[in-house]
Structure 1
Amino acid sequence: MSRVVLVTGAGGGIGRALCKRFLEAGDAVIALDRNAASVESLAAEFGAARLTAIVADVSSQESVINAVGQGVAAHGPVDVAVANAGGALGTTLAHTDAAAWRRDVELNLNGTYYTIEAVRAAMIERKRGAIVLIGSVNGLTSLGHPAYSAAKAGLVSYTKALAMEFGPHGIRANIVCPGTVKTPAWRARVAQHPKIFEELSKWYPLGDVAEPEDIADAVYFLASPQARVITGVALPVDAGLMAGNRLMANELTLDPY
């Protein structure tokens, strides 16, 4: 199976794992990232034969359209779109001003919309396509970063709209909602608190947090023929975080699990 796969936010920890997963399967990858150094390192790591790395800012619709056009010219129409680009600014409502709110919503929600709009018409014309959005458990409950969380919650609704409206055209849409993931974005916090992952793991029923490869594997499955009748699903990939609060349950029942 050889497909053309679009990955945004390709230079980050999850993005690189996504690129590697699809390339290992024999697919061609159009890798977008707004950081030029990340784009260069992607090209150096994976080569240019089946990966085209392009500088693009998903918060600019024009930038996304131009980048996708370059990728399509190199590899052909997009079969799988993985909208992975995202990030969080304001940690709490008290520390989120209007500019931070707009930035988080523009990047995480609107940027995803711009990404899918850039491939939607071609998928409809060809009567096939798989869309996988990268959401967050923050979009399923309140865990801080309110603007980011609101944007990710919006993506869950957007996923369902995509699945409902584009299903008749042979297009599936799903969203993966990671919990904590051991990406390079955590480096500063790990440097300050070396045991941060150990401390966080107590909230996760499996006693661990995800690696970028865990997210890539879930995305790959949802984009594969093995998931041909799965659409409109919000899939937590979170070591059980959304299953329930074990520590609170212990206190409520006075019976340790």
Structure 2
Amino acid sequence: MGKNQEVIVVTGGASGIGEACARRFAHAGYRVVLADVNSDGGNRVASELRDAGHDAQFHHVDLASEESVARFASQVIEESGAPVGLINAGGILQNAVRVLDMDLAEFDRLFQINVRGTLIASRAFGAAMCEAGHGSVINLCSMTTFRSSAQVAYTVGKSGLKALTETMAAEWGPRGVRVNAVAPGYTLTQAMQARIDSGQRDPALVIERSALRRFVKPSEVADAVFFLCSSEAAAITGVTLPIDCGWLASTAYLAFASQPD
């Protein structure tokens, strides 16, 4: 992808990893279209980017509503044509809960937004990308994509997104569209900080179990997303890339029955 005001669409762009991605692409010269259900946050990010001289706009979009997503995609495509990139960063988190105790309404809500929302956004923009013969889609998975977690609904959804990524990559590759995913580990977003402050996450455990002994920064995930969308990654499709400060490797190493003296 070049510059020249090509369009990047970022769902979940009002905060966290989505915001970091929007800023990364805007600073590289792309026209960024943010979508989120959080109007205050989305307008703030878009306004800050415009004040810094970048081309950015915000749309209120509810990923739980197929009508809302379709209306958004139609407007963007009508105004600017097929985007060169779609970053599916929209989603919600879950706190730890036992399978037998989990409210199924919570499971349904997480699946509706995290999985179905990613699917309908990908379909809405992917059709135009396939017709144009180019484009890159990035989905947001998680380290729970690869490991079990007490975040039952979140884990099931993020595991499913890996399969969805691979399926879309296989189907859309012949049309010139690449589809990949990133799998962030514990990333110090606003949402994560709020959970730390409320006692729902223990930062000491995250740090001691990560090989690099720190949290991931949102900007580091955005850098990986930018790479996967770029021409430098032209031969890469269907992958899910962990960005976790070595948490997956370290926890497996530390759990092994034999440890060196």
Q: TM-score, normalised by structure 1?
A: 0.93
Gaps of 5+ in 1: none
Q: Which residue matches 1:241?
A: 247
1:200 alignment partner in structure 2: 206
Residue 121 of structure 2 is aligned with which of 107, 115, 120?
A: 115
8 A Cα contact 2:33 2:57, kept in partner: yes
Is 1:57 the counterpart of 2:62? The answer is yes
The AA in structure 1 aligned to 2:72 is A
The aligned counterpart of 1:6 is 9
Describe the superposition over 1:104-157 as per-residue Cα deviations: whole angstroms up to 9, x where unpaired: 100110000011011111111111110110111112111221111101101000
| Larger deviation, residues 236-245 vs 99-108 | 236-245
Within the candidate set 139, 143, 146, 1:133 is matched to 139
Question: Contact between 1:7 and 1:15, CA under 8 Å: does it hold in 2?
Answer: yes
* 1:160-209 deviation digits (Å, cap 9, x = unpaired): 10111111001111010011000000233332459932331111111112
Q: Is residue 15–residue 190 contact of structure 2 (8 Å, CA) maintained in 1?
A: yes
- Residue of structure 2 in register with 1:91 after alignment: 96
Q: Secondary structure at the match of 1:253?
A: coil
The alpha-carbon deviation at position 8 of structure 1 amounts to 0.3
Further displaced range: 34-43 or 123-132: 34-43
Aligned to 1:177: 183
- Counterparts of 1:194 and 1:174 in 2: how far apart (Å)? 30
Identity between Structure 1 and Structure 2 (%): 31
SS of alignment partner, residue 5 of structure 1? strand
The yes-or-no answer on 1:35 pairing with 2:35 is no
User: More displaced, 8-17 or 190-199?
Assistant: 190-199
**Structure 1 moving runs of 4+ over 4 Å:** 192-195
- C-alpha separation between the residues in 2 aligned to 1:181 and 1:18? 14
Normalised to the residue count of structure 2, the TM-score between the two structures is 0.91
> Are the counterparts in 2 of residues 52 and 74 from structure 1 also a CA contact under 8 Å?
no
CA distance, structure 1, for counterparts of residue 105 and residue 196 of structure 2: 28
Corresponding residue pairs, total:
254
Identify which range, 142-151 or 42-51, moves more after superposition.
42-51
**Cα contact 1:6–1:78 (8 A) shared by 2:** yes
**Hey, what's the Cα distance between the residues in 2 that align with 1:131 and 1:27?**
15
Using the TM superposition, name which of 225-234 and 89-98 deviates more. Answer: 89-98
Matched position secondary structure for 2:100:
helix
Pairing partner for 2:236 from 210, 220, 230: 230
Q: What corresponds to 1:152 in structure 2?
A: 158
Q: Distance in 2 between matches of 1:17 and 1:177?
A: 15
Deviates most, 48-57 or 7-16: 48-57
CA–CA separation in structure 2 for the residues paired with 1:72 and 1:236: 31
1:255 aligns with 2:260: yes
User: Could you tell me how far 1:247 is from its partner in structure 2?
Assistant: 2.4
- Give structure 2 stretches of 5+ with no counterpart: none
C-alpha separation in 2, matches of 1:199 and 1:120: 39
Q: Which stretch of structure 1 is more off in the superposition, 210-219 or 47-56?
A: 47-56
Contact 1:138 1:144 in 2 (8 A): no
Kindly state the Cα deviation for residue 214 of structure 1 after the two structures are TM-superposed.
0.7
Is 1:22 aligned to residue 25 of structure 2? Answer: yes
Q: 1:46 aligns with which of 44, 49, 54?
A: 49
Counterpart-to-counterpart distance in 1, 2:61 and 2:155 = 23
